[in-house]
Structure 1
């Protein structure tokens, strides 16, 4: 293991007491069952309370309330991981997140660095997004919703990091020494979860590749930091921009201030910006690493 990844040993300490792969597989099955059942009950209750078109609106996250509820439902993943870790490895949720005070400090430090980077990017000369942006929400409404929306995004990204860079990565690291395995496998699973050919069409593979690279960078930050704080901050910053500021119009746009003039499946328009976003992701990763060195 590279010397820079020695802090990761802290996260795997409790996992190493019960590192068997069957525990991970049974744990993932338990998480899948719990999340599926809780989502089924949650969304069935929500759909029953609304009009006929509410179900489609909820699944697409096309209104503020629909997207907030959709993001909050990711909390079921965190609950599932907490149950699986306790039952299969006798681990607590905080043992997956890392030492609490350090995780919080690193989260804040990395988020500050990314916000500064975001402000610098905003002040640079304007670049064409392939057409005029359309305002989705009135500015006053957007500002009033922003605290709740940001908290909902935090629930969503924390759940994904706890599952992929937390439970899966740490359990694999407790069993295998090679970062190729314990960074690569969770990143592949993360990419598979973002592969949506029905919605993205010809862009599906590129979006999955983007998710794979993001997973590797988040895994690297986790291994260097010894907590999930930096990875959650990176994921939070990315999703706040993509969901709350400038979103794609066909899905998860309910809380966006602006929407792009093209949708997920528009290969000609979206592909150049996915490549630009990939470059920016590397810049954000470097900024996060610099913040961790302070």
Structure 2
């Protein structure tokens, strides 16, 4: 006999129930595990299929750059392919949980309103940071794309980053978080487990060296903060906005010279594995992440 869990009583996470309620229709954990496997299969299969299609219709040296995202075309393809994650979630939600993708991301009117409002707050925060006394990273940043080229690509670049960040939020703060919340009442379970998986996906020892664990920890804390925003908002809108602004800065403005820099205006003076050069700025990045989370909470406060 199917057992339904009662929602947690009141509190600051009351809005989360709007997202969790549809997940209680089919809340069995085996469905979640099978769903994650399906999302992974759909994403990998579709990505390989897209790459094979590109090899057939648009052969060229740029295809070798796909794995590193070191050219504009390669980065656009790489970021756009994250949309296959959202497709996988849509199929898993429909086939295994009898729910649609809209129920995973939240009702569209409040989602759009929250995304827009949080984006305005974050834009204001960014402008405020620009007014602070000038600072540098101890070494000059290197120009990457010419400004005119970067500006011409910007509409496509922003759309690609939105697809990438939105799809990640749909998987981690949407599908996985909601499925766990449908089975476990305590927030520690449905906040920490998806955040741990999100951190694991950002653990890149081959690229980041001794900084890999710290970067993964950063991603885990980011996941916790985005889970909190989602539970307070009742849609993925605020988390999508914060994630979007974070990745615009990291991928389109000041990117790592190691990889994922094909659409960036500038390159950082340090590689991800540079302990001495990068770690002080990771502390600054961490503080910016926390302030962005607080700004988003303020934006959705009723």
* TM-score band w.r.t. shorter chain: over 0.9
What CA distance in whole angstroms lies between the structure 2 residues aligned with 1:96 and 1:219? 13
Aligned to 2:59: 50
The answer as to whether partners of 2:63 and 2:74 remain within 8 angstroms in 1 is no
What CA distance in whole angstroms lies between the structure 2 residues aligned with 1:287 and 1:70? 30
What CA distance in whole angstroms lies between the structure 2 residues aligned with 1:242 and 1:220? 22
The alpha-carbon deviation at position 144 of structure 1 amounts to: 1.1
The answer as to whether partners of 1:218 and 1:231 remain within 8 angstroms in 2 is yes
Aligned to 2:87: 79
Aligned to 1:229: 237
Aligned to 1:252: 260
The alpha-carbon deviation at position 46 of structure 1 amounts to: 2.3
Aligned to 1:109: 117
What CA distance in whole angstroms lies between the structure 1 residues aligned with 2:52 and 2:129? 42
What CA distance in whole angstroms lies between the structure 2 residues aligned with 1:282 and 1:60? 29
Q: 2:100 aligns with which of 92, 95, 104?
A: 92
The alpha-carbon deviation at position 155 of structure 1 amounts to: 0.2
Q: 1:183 aligns with which of 167, 183, 191?
A: 191
Aligned to 2:5: none
The alpha-carbon deviation at position 250 of structure 1 amounts to: 1.1
Q: 2:29 aligns with which of 21, 29, 39?
A: 21
What CA distance in whole angstroms lies between the structure 1 residues aligned with 2:280 and 2:51? 36
Aligned to 2:44: 36
Aligned to 1:201: 209
What CA distance in whole angstroms lies between the structure 2 residues aligned with 1:17 and 1:160? 23
Gap runs ≥5 in structure 2: 1-7
Residue 146 (structure 2) pairs with residue 146 (structure 1): no
Q: Which has the larger displacement, 78-87 or 120-129?
A: 120-129
User: Normalising to structure 2: TM-score of the pair?
Assistant: 0.95
The answer as to whether partners of 2:180 and 2:190 remain within 8 angstroms in 1 is yes
1:213-258 deviations in Å (ceiling 9; x for gaps): 0000000000000000000000000000111111111111011111
User: Normalising to structure 1: TM-score of the pair?
Assistant: 0.97
Residue 19 (structure 2) pairs with residue 11 (structure 1): yes
Superposed CA RMSD in Å reads: 1.1
What CA distance in whole angstroms lies between the structure 2 residues aligned with 1:130 and 1:160? 33
What CA distance in whole angstroms lies between the structure 1 residues aligned with 2:27 and 2:275? 43
What CA distance in whole angstroms lies between the structure 2 residues aligned with 1:125 and 1:65? 36
The answer as to whether partners of 1:47 and 1:54 remain within 8 angstroms in 2 is no
